[in-house]
């Protein structure tokens, strides 16, 4: 749907013109490499994804695993946002993680200026990288618009090949700067694939791994996430969470990054009551520190059968906890993107309704949690005035999902209950 004219949006786009590829090339420095060889014949691959998103990070892990299976001797480096670096470093197929840090600043509160501040941080971090040899290829897996300047970072490194997607494949999202002209190989054709599958498509079209989709698909678990879970001291983790060893439990995650994606706390409370009344499972509530208060509202009055662990775990510890869960229920957020790849029965609540286009960028067909046991619960249709996607600043379309719908999906998942090992 064509957006209404907005003077603010047009002015904002003009102010951000220097961020776009053609102008960026006029002033941004490029790396000068020493031409001496180190005698190594192994391929060096750089993955550039500066999105500080847990969901994106996990969606691109299968691409790493496919690359490692096709080139066992390859050296795989990941250039990432500092918030995701610790998690990526635990992946067994990633040899090195380079980071971009965005220090807190009052500039982040100023529209448009915060975008320039982010680019400044990216340029400063890339310029400071102490690399001895260039990479053979840079892969920018983010499908379409990328507000984190991944293409700009790859261009500054001055590599022989860089491959990624054009912003044109997300034509409905026009508010971001573009880096198309900064990549040597570009996919401009719309690919109605899940984000994880898009990354594999990138490997195929660049001829790096022609059979990438035969090696992995979105209904398979992710080996790297499982490896991270196995590296966690589960005994210490259970003691930290207050979970009796051997006690079966399921995990609920009532928070999300955007208010419109947060199913009401009262409905989560009703779901907790249904779970406790119909099963012998404990309920563990997880989330970030900022979501601890929301989790406390959900847990109130249930005693020790509902444990509020929001804000208590690192990302690795959360992965370890979820790997032992009987099932998971949550909003469209990072926790669901962890549970699904682990193979845990996962029920994920999405704002995009069933009668909307499956090709929309916000459709679960494009960005649901990957994994073999994932169930998506959606509202039937949009609530006006929403059309195309939910634009509300508070919970709106998602509120149509009933406790009965979620319980039915969960009950189906619990038919094949397993106890934690």
CB atoms near residue 400 (< 10 Å): 15
* Tens of pLDDT, residues 97-122: 999 999 999 998 988 889 899 999 99
Please determine, for residue 421, whether its predicted confidence score (pLDDT) is greater than 50: no
Please determine, for residue 177, whether its predicted confidence score (pLDDT) is greater than 80: no
**CB distance 170 to 145 below 8 Å:** yes
Q: Residue 117's beta-bridge partner residues?
A: none
Do strands 185-187 and 328-331 pair parallel, antiparallel, or not at all (unpaired)? unpaired
Q: What is the pLDDT of residue 284?
A: 95
CA 397 – CA 258 distance, rounded (Å): 13
Supply the DSSP symbol for 163. Answer: E
Please determine, for residue 35, whether its predicted confidence score (pLDDT) is greater than 70: no
Residue with the bigger pLDDT between 171 and 367: it is 367
* Tens of pLDDT, residues 295-321: 999 999 998 899 999 999 999 999 999
pLDDT, the chain, mean? 89
* Tens of pLDDT, residues 121-153: 999 999 999 898 899 999 999 877 788 899 999
Confidence of residue 41 (pLDDT cuts 50, 70, 90): confident
Please determine, for residue 242, whether its predicted confidence score (pLDDT) is greater than 90: no
- CA distance readout (Å), 332 to 141, 227, 359: 21, 24, 17
Confidence of residue 391 (pLDDT cuts 50, 70, 90): confident
CA 376 – CA 77 distance, rounded (Å): 33
CATH class of 227-414: alpha beta
To the nearest 10°, the Cα dihedral for 314, 320, 324, 326? 50
Ramachandran quadrant class, 371 (left: phi over 0; alpha: psi -120 to 50; beta: rest): left
Q: What is the pLDDT of residue 174?
A: 52
CA 117 – CA 119 distance, rounded (Å): 5
Confidence of residue 420 (pLDDT cuts 50, 70, 90): very low
Q: What is the pLDDT of residue 143?
A: 76
Q: What is the pLDDT of residue 79?
A: 97
Q: Which residues contact 131 (CB under 8 A, 6 or more apart)?
A: 31, 157
CA 81 – CA 53 distance, rounded (Å): 9
Q: Which residues contact 366 (CB under 8 A, 6 or more apart)?
A: 192, 193, 194, 195, 358, 359, 360
Q: Which two tokens stand for residue 402?
A: 């009933």
Please determine, for residue 210, whether its predicted confidence score (pLDDT) is greater than 90: yes
Q: Is 6 exposed, middle or buried (0-12, 13-18, 19+ CB in 10 A)?
A: exposed
**How many alpha carbons lie under 13 Å from residue 219 in its C-beta half-sphere?**
2
Residue with the bigger pLDDT between 1 and 342: it is 342
Q: Which residues contact 130 (CB under 8 A, 6 or more apart)?
A: none
Beta strands in 306-362 (DSSP E): 306-308, 328-331, 346-349
Q: What is the pLDDT of residue 37?
A: 62
- CA distance readout (Å), 334 to 300, 320, 368: 24, 14, 11
pLDDT over 90, % of the chain: 70
CA 417 – CA 327 distance, rounded (Å): 8
Stated pTM of the model = 0.90
CATH for 13-29+40-218? 3.40.50.2000
Q: Which two tokens stand for residue 119?
A: 């680019």
Confidence of residue 3 (pLDDT cuts 50, 70, 90): low
Average pLDDT for 52-73: 94
Please determine, for residue 172, whether its predicted confidence score (pLDDT) is greater than 70: no
Average pLDDT for 263-269: 95
∠214-202-162 over CA atoms, to 5°?
Answer: 145
Q: What is the pLDDT of residue 18?
A: 85
> Which of 12-21, 112-121, 226-235, 360-369 shows the lowest mean pLDDT across its residues?
12-21
**CB distance 258 to 396 below 8 Å:** no
Average pLDDT for 273-283: 93
* Tens of pLDDT, residues 345-377: 999 999 999 988 888 888 899 989 999 999 999
Q: Enumerate the CATH 3.40.50.2000 domain ranges in the chain, comma separated.
A: 13-29+40-218, 227-414
**CB distance 159 to 137 below 8 Å:** yes
């Amino acid at each position: 749907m064509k957006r209404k004219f907005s003077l603010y949006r047009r002015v904002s786009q003009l102010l951000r013109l220097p961020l776009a590829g053609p102008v960026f090339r006029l002033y941004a420095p490029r790396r000068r490499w020493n031409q001496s060889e180190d005698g190594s014949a192994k391929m060096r691959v750089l993955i550039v994804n500066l999105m500080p998103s847990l969901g994106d990070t996990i969606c691109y892990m299968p691409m790493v695993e496919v690359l490692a299976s096709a080139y066992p001797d390859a050296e795989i480096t990941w250039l990432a946002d500092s918030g995701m670096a610790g998690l990526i470093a635990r992946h067994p197929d990633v040899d090195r993680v380079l980071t971009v840090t965005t220090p807190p600043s009052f500039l982040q509160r100023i529209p448009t200026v915060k975008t320039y501040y982010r680019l400044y941080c990216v340029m400063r971090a890339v310029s400071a990288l102490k690399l001895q040899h260039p990479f053979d290829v840079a892969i920018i897996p983010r499908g379409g618009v990328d507000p984190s300047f991944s293409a700009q970072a790859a261009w500054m490194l001055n590599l022989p090949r860089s491959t990624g997607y054009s912003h044109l494949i997300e034509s409905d999202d026009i508010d971001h700067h573009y880096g198309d002209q900064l990549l040597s190989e570009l996919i401009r054709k719309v690919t109605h694939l899940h984000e994880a599958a898009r990354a594999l498509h990138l490997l195929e079209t660049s001829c790096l791994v022609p059979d990438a989709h035969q090696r992995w698909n979105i209904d398979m678990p992710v080996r790297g996430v499982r490896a991270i879970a196995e590296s966690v001291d589960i005994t210490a983790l259970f003691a930290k969470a207050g979970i009796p060893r051997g006690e079966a439990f399921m995990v609920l995650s009532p928070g999300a990054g955007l208010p419109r994606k947060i199913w009401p706390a009262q409905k989560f409370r009703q779901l907790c009551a249904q779970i406790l009344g119909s099963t012998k499972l404990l309920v563990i509530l997880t989330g970030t520190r900022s979501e601890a208060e929301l989790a406390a509202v959900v847990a109130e009055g249930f005693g020790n059968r509902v444990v509020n662990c929001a804000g208590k775990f690192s990302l690795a510890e959360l992965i370890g906890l979820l790997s032992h869960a009987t099932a998971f229920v949550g909003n469209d957020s990072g926790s669901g993107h962890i549970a699904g790849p682990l193979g845990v029965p996962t029920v994920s609540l999405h704002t995009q309704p069933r009668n909307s286009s499956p090709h929309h960028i916000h459709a679960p067909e494009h960005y649901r949690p990957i994994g073999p046991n994932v169930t998506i619960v959606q509202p039937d249709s949009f609530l006006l005035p929403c059309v195309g996607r939910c634009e509300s600043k508070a919970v709106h379309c998602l509120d149509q999902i009933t406790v009965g719908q979620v319980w039915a999906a969960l009950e189906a998942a619990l038919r094949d209950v397993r106890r934690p090992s």
